[in-house]
Amino acid sequence: GAVVSQHPSRVICKSGTSVKIECRSLDFQATTMFWYRQFPKQSLMLMATSNEGSKATYEQGVEKDKFLINHASLTLSTLTVTSAHPEDSSFYICSARAEERFFANSYNEQFFGPGTRLTVL
Amino acid sequence: RKEVEQDPGPFNVPEGATVAFNCTYSNSASQSFFWYRQDCRKEPKLLMSVYSSGNEDGRFTAQLNRASQYISLLIRDSKLSDSATYLCVVNGLGRAGNMLTFGGGTRLMVKP
């Protein structure tokens, strides 16, 4: 159990285009999903927290109009990088936190997706 | 000052060695603590939670000192497969409730 998938795993795009990344919890329902970004040789930085059916909460310094998050169901959240620029090239990782009834001992544990490597040319 | 600080390493050790990593955190209201392992170009995976009483999982021992806001991880009898980056992670309250804050990671390289 506790599998989170991300799609695509890798994307290369031209500057100015938009890229959508999907994050799915495959065998549990996630009340909350998180989006992180990791630049080379740096740690994961939280970009935003999304709860199903409500607007995402963005961390300081993250532009909500550039990084659009939609959490339409308890198993899917999407991150759209709009008008991507080379400086947006990074490793984007999502995680999902399960509802208590699914993993009683792991209520606060976040399960991470395999990440999406974005390269903007 | 970073919220979670770690020595980036790398720590280069021979197989069979014992190695210890340290981590300090700045938010005294932090609620729970973890060590994650991240392999190159992969997502982080939970290694173990860290409890005030200290806890052990096989060759891995984690300790927490809340007074000093200090967390440690000890790896005994290092294996080649232990080579990875170890992330100290702290759970606390953020803008949207519970959130994880990651340290910069400590890189371990175990050599034959």
Q: Do A49 and B96 touch (CB under 8 A)?
A: yes
Looking at beta carbons, which residues of chain B come within 8 Å of A43? 87, 102-105
Tell me the shortest Cα–Cα distance from A64 to chain B, in angstroms. 14
The pLDDT value recorded for residue B82 is 98
Which residues 5-44 of A are in CB contact (within 8 Å) with B?
32, 34, 42-44
Per the model's pLDDT, the better-predicted residue between B30 and B88 turns out to be B88
DSSP state of A59: P
Interface of B with A (CB under 8 A): 32, 41-46, 87, 91, 94-105
Name chain B contacts of A39, Cβ cutoff 8 Å.
none
Sign of CA dihedral A30, B96, B93, B107: positive
The side-by-side arrangement of strands in the sheet containing A67-73 is A4-7, A19-25, A76-81, A67-73
State the pLDDT at residue B7: 92
Q: What is the pLDDT of residue A110?
A: 84
Instruction: Single out the residue of A24, A28, A51, A2 nearest to residue A116, CA to CA.
Output: A24
pLDDT for residue A105: 53
For B35-51, write each residue's pLDDT tens digit.
999 999 899 999 999 98
Of A58, A91, A110, which is closest to B100 when you measure between CB atoms?
A110
Euclidean distance between CA atoms A110 and B109, whole angstroms: 26
In the block, which residue shows the tokens 């169901």?
A: A73
Spell out, as residue ranges, where chain A has pLDDT lower than 50: none
Distance CA B32, CA B100 (A): 9
Structural contact between residues A30 and A75, judged by C-beta atoms closer than 8 angstroms: yes
Q: pLDDT band for B72, please (50, 70, 90 cuts).
A: very high
CB contact under 8 A, B42 and A115: yes
Question: Which is more confidently placed, B54 or B6?
Answer: B6
Question: Does a cis peptide bond (omega within 30 degrees of 0) precede residue B10?
Answer: yes
Closest Cα to residue A28, out of A7, A47, A5? A5
Size of interface A-B (CB pairs under 8 A): 49
